[in-house]
Amino acid sequence: MRGILLINIGTPASCSKEAVRKFVGDMLSDPLVTGQPEWVSSFLAKKIIAPVSSGKSFNKYSQIWRKEDPEISPMIYFMQKLAQSLEAKKNIPVEVAMRYGEPEIEQALKDLEKKCPLLHEVVVFPLYPHYAQSTTQTTIDEIGRVFYKRPHSYRLQLVEPYFDHPAFINALAKHAEPYLKDIDKLVFSYHSLPVDQVEAGWKKGREFDYVYQLKETNRLFCEKLNIQLQYTLLLYASQRGNNWLKPFLDKDISDLPRLGWKKVAVIAPGFPVDNLETLYDIDIEARELFMKAGGEKFVFVPSLNNSDEWIEAIWKITVGV
Ligand SMILES: C=CC1=C(C)c2cc3[nH]c(cc4nc(cc5[nH]c(cc1n2)c(C)c5CCC(=O)O)C(CCC(=O)O)=C4C)c(C)c3C=C
Ligand SMILES: [Fe+2]
């Protein structure tokens, strides 16, 4: 029998200062995220960066954390909903794992084995549509470390970035279309990255080229919905330095009303489930900046989450039918 493991980047275990500091510290200790040697990353992250910058992250998490039952991070909530829907609709065992924090990959594999003792293959689906060393690569490395620690009675099948998969593009288009009525500009928002990491990927080829891949997603999405590319804008969010991919969402969004684009929709195809970067950086911060600058209408396009179209697309991307 086959099982599916859905993996995402991770999220704090609770909305407390300690949990956020731990999550930020773990993430920024990873040399594939920082681009620094292991000991430098670990020292800087745990002793300097996390204690200082996690206060800001904590404030953001406090504004998006689910207040309803269950009181958990939106990312874990949407990942669990997605796993439950996929399991129910496709009759296949599904577990969720996070690269940083919980559920850990090792535990999720054990849970899948428990759910299904006759497992012969686990399809590992890192939910990042576009390659980045700070997401795709570090997740693949972690799976390798965990999987080869002990013998297993099943094989792994790893799903590659799916930025141009027709099922992904179809799902995105179908999901987004109703949000795109009566607007002047469609903004594609993507997570920014350090330029040196982007260049390193670009030199290796298209399989590793973050910017090529996200522009392909935009092009195919526009083609599907018959949208002229000139009617769209590409902005990058969540930068942590100046030498990161530009233009920045939190700077340029305020210019749009002055340029005559007073009604915008913002979509973030790099995030298949909602999380801090969509719910805060876009739906709270960018909205506020845009409206304060004279904007009239700001439409946030939610992530695919556990929509029917996304379940169907995941099935095609992972199992291929
Ligand atoms: C496309 C996905 C992502 C890329 C690429 C990425 C790169 C990247 N991130 C950091 C540092 C932080 N990321 C944080 C949160 C966070 N990152 C992603 C996705 C990508 N990151 C998501 C979905 C989230 C939110 C998770 C959630 O709980 O909802 C954080 C902590 C919070 C914050 O203040 O933003 C840090 C820190 C770096 C340095 C980096 C590339 C080098
Ligand atoms: Fe991040």
Strands of the sheet with 185-191, listed across from one edge: 232-237, 185-191, 263-267, 297-300
CATH number of 2-161: 3.40.50.1400
CA of 67 to the centre of ligand 1 (A): 22
Give yes or no for residue 245 CB within 6 A of ligand 1: no
CA of 70 to the centre of ligand 2 (A): 24
Whole-angstrom distance, CA of residue 222 vs CA of residue 199: 26
Q: Where are the domains of the chain?
A: 2-161, 166-300
233 close to 186: Cβ distance less than 8 angstroms: yes
- Report residue 61 as tokens: 């998490």
Binding site membership of 239 for ligand 1 (Cβ less than 6 Å): no
Query: Left (φ > 0), alpha (ψ -120 to 50) or beta: where does 92 sit?
Result: beta
pLDDT at residue 138, rounded to an integer: 98
Q: What is the CATH number of domain 166-300?
A: 3.40.50.1400
Q: Does 279 contact ligand 1 (Cβ within 6 A)?
A: no
Counting from 1 in the atom list of ligand 1, the atom nearest the Cα of 12 is 28
Q: What are phi and psi of 158, to 5 degrees?
A: -95, 130
What local confidence, expressed as pLDDT, does residue 54 receive? 87
Q: In the prediction, which pLDDT does 9 show?
A: 98
Query: How many of the other CB atoms lie within 10 Å of CB of 113?
Result: 18
pLDDT the model gives residue 37: 81
To test the pocket of ligand 1, the residue of 238, 244, 248, 282 to mutate (highest count of ligand atoms within 8 Å of its CB) is 238
ipTM surpasses 0.90: yes
Distance 117 CA to ligand 1 centre (A): 35
What burial letters (b/e) apply to 170-195, b meaning 16+ CB within 10 Å?
bbbbbbbeeebeebbbbbbbbbbbbe
Distance 219 CA to ligand 2 centre (A): 24
Distance 214 CA to ligand 1 centre (A): 17
Residues near 24 by Cβ (< 8 Å), separated by ≥ 6? Answer: 45, 49, 50, 53, 54, 57
By alpha-carbon position, which residue is closest to atom 34 of ligand 1?
57
Q: Do domains 2-161 and 166-300 have the same CATH topology?
A: yes
pLDDT digits (tens, 9 = 90+) for 68-81: 988 999 999 999 99
pLDDT less than 50: residues of the chain: none
DSSP-assigned letters across all residues of 130-150: S--IIIIIHHHHHHHHHHTTS
Extract the tokens encoding 318: 């992972």
Residue 194 dihedral angles phi and psi, to the nearest 5°: -60, 135
Tell me how far the alpha carbon of residue 135 lies from the centroid of ligand 1, in angstroms. 9
Best residue among 6, 7, 8, 9 to mutate for probing ligand 1, ranked by most atoms within 8 Å of CB: 9
Tell me if 32 CB under 6 Å of ligand 1.
no
Q: Which ligand is nearest to the CA of 271?
A: 1
Nearest residue to 237 (alpha-carbon basis) of 223, 225, 251, 227: 251
pLDDT of 67 reads 93
Residues 222 and 241: their CA atoms lie apart, in Å, by 30
What was the pLDDT predicted at 81?
Answer: 98
Q: End-to-end CA distance of the chain: give it in Å, rounded.
A: 16
* 75 close to ligand 1 (CB < 6 Angstrom): yes
Spatial separation of the C-alpha atoms in residues 203 and 206, rounded to whole Å:
8
At 284 the pLDDT is 98
Q: Where are the beta strands (DSSP E) in 164-231?
A: 185-191
Q: What is the pLDDT of residue 225?
A: 98
The verdict on the CB of residue 217 being under 6 Å from ligand 1 is: no
Half-sphere exposure of 36 (CA within 13 A, CB side): 13
Contact yes or no for 236/190 (Cβ under 8 A):
yes
Tokens standing for 108?
């999720």
The predicted-structure confidence for 65-114, as pLDDT tens digits, reads as follows: 999 988 999 999 999 999 999 999 999 999 999 999 999 999 999 999 99
Task: Please tell me the predicted confidence (pLDDT) of residue 293.
Answer: 98
